[in-house]
């Protein structure tokens, strides 16, 4: 029997990718015994708000800029990869001027730097923080 929810989610992911993305460049950090590399992928931009206990009784509110990317699109040199801390995402400003915003893949505190965005493991939600702005 066909899983209608899975079929519906695949359709929604297809629509998101067609109509709610912009191109970004994913750059492998090059550490961990693997070489670096880049790939341009379509990504939907979002946010996640984390509340982290600072150990002293206060909750820190940390907002991450997230990139939703199809797992099937995240390949470097023909090899599928998963995000890891230290990788970078480069996003060119769409408002003119050609600024490139550079984000590092990182999860706050002990949080992972990515998670699955859907129950069928089609889309990665990658958590980042901005580390640089490059002007043309």
Model confidence pLDDT, tens digit, residues 67-82: 999 999 999 999 999 9
User: Dihedrals φ, ψ of 93, to 5°?
Assistant: -60, 135
According to the model, what pLDDT value does residue 53 have?
83
According to the model, what pLDDT value does residue 87 have?
97
According to the model, what pLDDT value does residue 36 have?
81
Q: 115 falls in which pLDDT band (50, 70, 90)? A: very high
For the chain, the average pLDDT equals 90
- The residues near 122 (Cβ < 8 Å, ≥ 6 apart) are 9, 10, 13, 70, 71, 72
Tell me what the mean pLDDT of segment 98-127 comes to: 93
Kindly tell me if the per-residue pLDDT of 33 is higher than 60.
no
According to the model, what pLDDT value does residue 57 have?
83
According to the model, what pLDDT value does residue 34 have?
55
Tell me what the mean pLDDT of segment 31-54 comes to: 84
Q: Are 66 and 48 in contact (CB under 8 A)?
A: yes
Per-residue burial over 7-23, b = 16 or more CB atoms within 10 Å of its CB, e = otherwise? eebeeebeebbeeebee
Q: Are 84 and 32 in contact (CB under 8 A)?
A: yes
């Amino acid at each position: 029997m066909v899983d209608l929810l899975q079929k519906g989610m695949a359709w929604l992911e297809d629509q998101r990718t067609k109509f709610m993305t912009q191109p970004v460049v994913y750059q492998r950090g090059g550490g961990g015994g693997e070489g670096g590399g880049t790939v341009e992928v379509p990504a939907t931009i979002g946010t996640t708000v984390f509340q982290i206990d600072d150990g002293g009784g206060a909750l820190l509110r940390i907002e991450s800029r997230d990139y939703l990317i199809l797992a099937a699109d995240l390949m470097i040199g023909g090899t599928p990869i998963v995000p890891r801390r230290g990788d970078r995402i480069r996003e060119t400003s769409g408002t003119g001027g050609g600024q490139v915003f550079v984000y590092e893949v990182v999860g706050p505190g002990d949080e992972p730097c990515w998670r699955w965005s859907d129950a069928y493991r089609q889309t990665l939600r990658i958590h980042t923080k901005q580390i640089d702005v490059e002007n043309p």
